[in-house]
Structure 1
Amino acid sequence: MQAIVLEGHGEPLRVREVEEPTAPDDGVVVDVEACGICRSDWHAWQGHGEWVDDVPPEGQILGHEPAGRVVETGVDVERIEVGDRVAVPFSLGDGRCPQCRNGHGNVCEDGIALGFEPAGQGAFADRVAVPHAEYNLTTLPEGLSATAMAALGCRYMTAYHALAHRADLTPGDGVAVHGCGGVGLSAVQIARALGATVVAVDVREAALEKARELGAHETVNGEGAVVEEIRELTGGGAAISIDALGIAQTCRNSVGCLARRGQHLQLGLTTTDERGEIPLPTDSMVGREIDFLGSRGMPPTRYDELLRFVENGAIDPGALVTNAVPLEAVPDRIAAMNEFDAVGIEVCEP
């Protein structure tokens, strides 16, 4: 089959012929109908993450936001059947550790990161193998396209988990979103659906226009006095603020724009400039009782909750999709992220 294989960090990506995957005893093989193209793929390609021992090796098949149809099941799989259309989370739990048993499979103690490690070869490919299928897979509702489901992948469900499960969001809260890439725009739409008053921040007018289209009440140019503008727009500071980019400026602006007892959500991953370390105004955070919360993916056991929001029309992940490309175009689309100019979510349709 064909797949996008990492041949060297920062080296040109290309389509290669690789062996077909086979289903693990407790897993399945999914024929990939669509897979989101995410900035995390760019981080993997660049070799970022050595500061947390999280660099994909050469030979890794990339791609971690797939949806598709099951074409093979392992001998121990009973609930999932050939022909089922399924969503595949990027953070695959084993279903057995204490975190998984308590509903936190996204931080499984022995988890597999799809598309980032040899045990989880990725989904920029014709087909992908998924272990621990009965714990991790969710059957798609009728009428939800694979392209829309791929948009629900890493970025959308990460934003949903952060706002719906990690933060204490209540209707009427002011929510600031710093960085309107895929995860930031997802957060804008979800926060609006959850009843928040949303302020979106970016340096690109096209991204701010998309944020307004998706529900942002106010927008702020990131090159201006971001903290002061958000404090004015929210009447003293946001209740919840999200760094959806992962650079020092957006993280510090996010913390700075919060009201007393506000909550900062860190969704963006850092690059080689920060290497996982960002200085913060610790004493001010203590004095204002600011919460700093990390959030990674979403527990697979809560996918049904997210899909109910989609089915009843409260959120529309398909509205974030701005481009769909064939597999051979994926290398160019990942390389284009060097310029930080893509708007919305791009999806590969192998």
Structure 2
Amino acid sequence: MRAAVLEEHGEPLTIKDVDAPDPDPTGAVVEVEACGVCRSDWHGWQGDWEWLNLETQPGQILGHEPAGHVVAVGDEVEGVDEGDHVAIPFNLGDGACPRCQRGHSNICENVMPLGFVEQAQGAFAEQVHVPVADHNLVHLPDGVSSVDMAGLGCRFMTSFHALAHRADVSAGDWVSIHGCGGIGLSAVHIADALGANVVAVDLTDDKLERATDLGAVETVNADNVDDVPGEIKGITDGGANVSMDALGIATTCQNSVFSLDAHGQHIQVGLTTQDEQGMVSLPTDAMVMQEIEFIGSLGMPPTRYDEIFRMVSTGKLEPEKVVSETIGLEDVSDKLAAMTDYETVGIPVIDEF
């Protein structure tokens, strides 16, 4: 099968023929019909996250936002059949550890991040193997396209879990979103659907225009103001109730915290780069004095995808609105390079392999 393979960090991926996967006894093989290209792929391509023991190695197939149809299943698989239309969460769980058993498989004790480790080769390929298929595969509703659902593997469901499960977003709350990449734009759309008033923050007007289309009631171009938190506090008459760092650099994290009102909640979704290496200084005294919460959020348990699907079925959520373009496998390296300077808008999706 054809796949885009990492051979050197920061260099174009190599399109080559590799062996197609076979399912292990509890696994399944999915023919990939669509796969988003995510900033997390960019992190892997850059060689980030050594501080998390997740530095990708040469020979890795990246790609962790796939949707497609099952083409083979292992002998022990019971709930998945050939032909099923599925999405695949990026944080694959074993289904057996205490966290998985408590419904928190997104932080499985033995998590295998799809597309970042050798034992979980990714979906920038014609086919992808999914271990523990009964636990990890998510059946898609009838009538949806793989392209429209590709972002569910990471960015859309990550934003949903952060806002709907981890934070306490109520109707009429002010929610500020710092960084309008794929996660940020998904978060704008989801927060709007949850009844919040959204302030979107970014450095480029085209992304802010997209955020407005997705439900932001106010935008802040951080390149044009001296004090982003001050702008947000002025818009919200005191500060946001909930704020998200959807990018993962020190500036957006700190701006998010400083933009909150008392009893506000900061949600950290973006992971850091080589500049921060996982460490960002915070105004801890101010957080204590104002009783501000700092909340981490990773992915989403596959058992809760039905919440998204119910909102999709009634038109309250439209994940396809965050998809910006479809591309071929040969175009992936160009999209990763464009992410270095934040030049992509929305979610590019591979649909030609």
Same fold (TM over 0.5): yes
2:262 paired with 1:260? yes
Partners in 1 of 2:131 and 2:313 — Cα distance?
A: 27
Deviation at 1:56, TM superposition (A): 1.2
Q: What is residue 79 of structure 2 aligned with on the other side?
A: 79
Give the conservation status (yes or no) of the 8 Å contact 2:23–2:29: yes
Distance in 2, matches of 1:18 and 1:144, equals 30
Q: Name the aligned partner's letter for residue 70 of structure 1.
A: V
Separation in 1, partners of 2:8, 2:113: 19
Q: Pairwise CA RMSD of aligned residues?
A: 0.8
Q: Which residue of 1 aligns with 2:110?
A: 110
Aligned pairs (5 A) from 1:122-137: 122-137=122-137
Normalising by structure 2, what TM-score? 0.98
1:248 to 250, 256, 266: 250
**Matched AA of 2:170:** T
Cα deviation per residue 1:56-100 (whole Å; 9 max; x = unaligned)?
Answer: 111111000000000000000111000000010000111100100
Aligned to 1:342: 344
Aligned to 1:270: 272
For 1:40 and 1:86, the matched residues in 2 are separated by: 21
Contact 1:138 1:304 in 2 (8 A): no
In structure 2, the partner of 1:173 is: 173
Q: Provide the secondary structure at the position in 2 that maps to 1:45.
A: helix
Are 1:295 and 2:297 an aligned pair? yes
Q: Deviations over 1:137-186 (max 9, x none)?
A: 11111111100110222111000000000001111110000000000000
Match of 2:204 in 1: 204
* Residues 1:215 and 2:215 aligned together: yes
For 1:10 and 1:227, how far apart are their aligned partners in 2?
34
Aligned residue identity for 1:296: L
Paired residues in the alignment total 350
Partner Cα separation in structure 2 for residue 313 and residue 234 of structure 1: 28
Work out the CA distance in 2 between the residues paired with 1:174 and 1:338.
Answer: 30
Percent identity, aligned pairs only? 57
Unaligned runs of 5+ residues in structure 1 are none
Flag structure 2 segments of 5+ consecutive residues without an equivalent: none
Amino acid at match of 2:24: P
Counterpart amino acid of 1:228? G
Alpha-carbon contact 2:308-2:317 (below 8 Å) kept: no
Question: How far has the Cα of 1:323 moved from its partner?
Answer: 0.8
Matches within 5 A, 1:305-320: 305-320=307-322
Query: TM-score, normalization: structure 1?
Result: 0.99
User: Are the aligned partners of 1:65 and 1:154 in contact in 2 as well (CA < 8 Å)?
Assistant: yes
Query: Following the alignment from structure 2 to structure 1, what is the Cα–Cα distance between the partners of residues 110 and 308?
Result: 25
Alpha-carbon distance in 2 for matches of 1:344, 1:118: 28
Distance 2:92 2:248 in 1: 23
CA offsets 1:265-324 (integer angstroms, 9 cap, x no match): 011111111111111101000111111011111011111111111111111010111110
Structure 1 position 335, deviation (Å):
1.5
CA deviations over 1:18-42 (Å, ceiling 9, x no partner): 0010101101000000000000000
